[in-house]
Amino acid sequence: MRITPFLRKPFIAVIPAVLIVAISRGEDIQKPARVKVAAVQVQGYGKTDLRRADFHPSKTVVDYIAKAAADEAQLVVFPEYLLGRISIPGPQTKRISEAAAANRIYVIAGCWEVCPNGDFANSALLFDRRGKIVGKYRKVHAAVDHYEGDPPWSKPPGGKDADWFLEHDPEWKMIKGEDFPVFDLDFGRIGLLICYDGWFPETFRILSLKGAEIIVWINGRAGSVEDFIVRSAMFHNETALIAVNQACGAGSVIGQWPSTILARCEKPGEQYITATINIDQVRRARYNSRNFQQRRPKLYGELVK
């Protein structure tokens, strides 16, 4: 597994019926034209939950991994926070690794990644078909509550200890991610985002410009994943999109460029959806994109002020 930079024209436009030839380091690699994926809207640990001895969401993850593989999905995606506060590697990741390897399927799941020194990050883990953790993304934008400061949202409450933040709003204290990696899977290139990251249009754009063909957006909130964000992100960035929420919310969705919703969880509750993404269509759109060819980055400096 490697993280690779965006190539301006990474794909050849002349494509056989079921295969596309991708250019990677000067070598021709055959990629499937379509990929079936699954998303699981399921309840696990929430934002402020501490670990409980009698609660093991990773066991539920294992059951759905087997279900997705039986449905011939190549990737199954689970929500933000789901596994709770865990060490990596640990018993929870070992359980998922074994299931991913047994079923030869890619798996993405969210957790609070606890470091040896006690620091923690809101992380999305990517397991490959061998069960190895080959990718990790740490949430870049903290979804904090409105406490103190002017303007609002700018300052955490004073006089509170570490336990208070764990109980009320740990994202004030989490390690924030510092980049937007993309990952090459055997069926295509993906990028990862976590919840509040998706409210920043720059995040989707960066991943697209780095070559992501499918963007995976995991959430863990009581509201619904916003349909208009999903559709606009796909349209503007010429990607497919998989978004998943916890069962306390709703709106888990699998989308196809330019703005088609293939499958969606309309209501809260535990649900499982699958759909087949036409990744060949995404690649053709990206290769032939007038938008990509006519970008003028030198004029976009205001975006980073």
Reduced to 3 states (helix: H, G, I; strand: E, B; else coil), residue 256 is strand
52 lies in some domain: yes
Query: Contact at 8 Å (CB) between 89 and 59?
Result: no
SS3 content of the chain, % helix, strand, coil (to 5): 25, 30, 45
151 lies in some domain: no
38 lies in some domain: yes
Reduced to 3 states (helix: H, G, I; strand: E, B; else coil), residue 84 is coil
Domain membership of residue 37 as a residue range: 32-143+168-295
157 lies in some domain: no
230 lies in some domain: yes
Residue 142: other Cβ atoms inside 10 A? 17
Query: Contact at 8 Å (CB) between 123 and 92?
Result: no
Q: How many domains in the chain? A: 1
Buried b (16+ CB within 10 A) or exposed e, 177-207: beebbbbbbebbbbbbbbbbbbeeeebbbbb
Q: What is the reported pLDDT for 76?
A: 98
65 lies in some domain: yes
Q: What is the reported pLDDT for 29?
A: 57
Q: What is the reported pLDDT for 30?
A: 76
User: Which positions ≥6 away from 71 have C-beta within 8 Å?
Assistant: 36, 38, 274
10 lies in some domain: no
Supply the CATH number for residue 74's domain: 3.60.110.10
273 lies in some domain: yes
Q: What is the reported pLDDT for 155?
A: 87
Residue ranges of the chain with per-residue pLDDT less than 50: 1-28
